[in-house]
């Protein structure tokens, strides 16, 4: 039987902030906690529960043992909120306009590697 550990909301909030996740910018504390790369279970290892791609504002569930792949989710598994519209297309359009025709493989401006470009209007 796996040992489950209980974490208080205060502990989880502090963990989020330490890992660069502001819980107020996500639908609920559960989501913020799980995208902030917590080790919730001893057997979890380095596997994330849910990933957040900040530069595209996309939430994804990793597909285990299948290389670097993840499937996008549209609703929060914990609170049921509809997740934001992906900014993936806008990200490509903005970078194409800046002359990057293959941004996944090119050395793009730093603000486009995080949520900075869409949150603060880079």
List of residues contacting Zn ion (CB under 5 A): 27-28, 31, 76, 78-79, 81
- Least Å distance, CB 42 to Zn ion, is 25
3-state secondary structure of 59: strand
Cβ closer to Zn ion: 26 or 87?
26
- Least Å distance, CB 118 to Zn ion, is 20
- Least Å distance, CB 79 to Zn ion, is 3
The closest residue (CB) to Zn ion is 76
Cβ closer to Zn ion: 28 or 70?
28
Cβ closer to Zn ion: 63 or 81?
81
Handedness of CA 80, 72, 48, 102 (dihedral sign): negative
Contacts 24+ apart (CB under 8 A), 3-9: 3/41, 3/42, 4/41, 5/40, 5/41, 7/33, 7/38, 7/40
Task: Return the ∠ at Cα 85 (arms to 79 and 86), rounded to 5°.
Answer: 115
Count the residues in the chain.
122
- Least Å distance, CB 100 to Zn ion, is 33
Cβ closer to Zn ion: 34 or 117?
34
């Amino acid at each position: 039987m796996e040992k489950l550990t209980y974490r208080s909301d205060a502990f989880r909030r502090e963990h989020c902030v330490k890992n660069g996740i502001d819980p107020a910018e996500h639908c609920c504390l559960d989501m913020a906690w799980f995208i902030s790369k917590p080790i919730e279970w001893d057997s979890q290892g380095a596997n994330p529960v849910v990933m957040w791609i900040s530069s595209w504002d996309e939430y994804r569930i990793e597909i285990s043992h299948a290389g670097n792949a993840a499937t996008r989710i549209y609703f929060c598994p914990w609170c049921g909120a509809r997740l934001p519209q992906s900014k993936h297309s806008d990200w490509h359009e903005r970078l194409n306009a800046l002359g990057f025709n293959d941004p996944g493989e090119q050395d793009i401006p730093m603000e486009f590697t995080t949520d900075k470009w869409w949150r603060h209007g880079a």
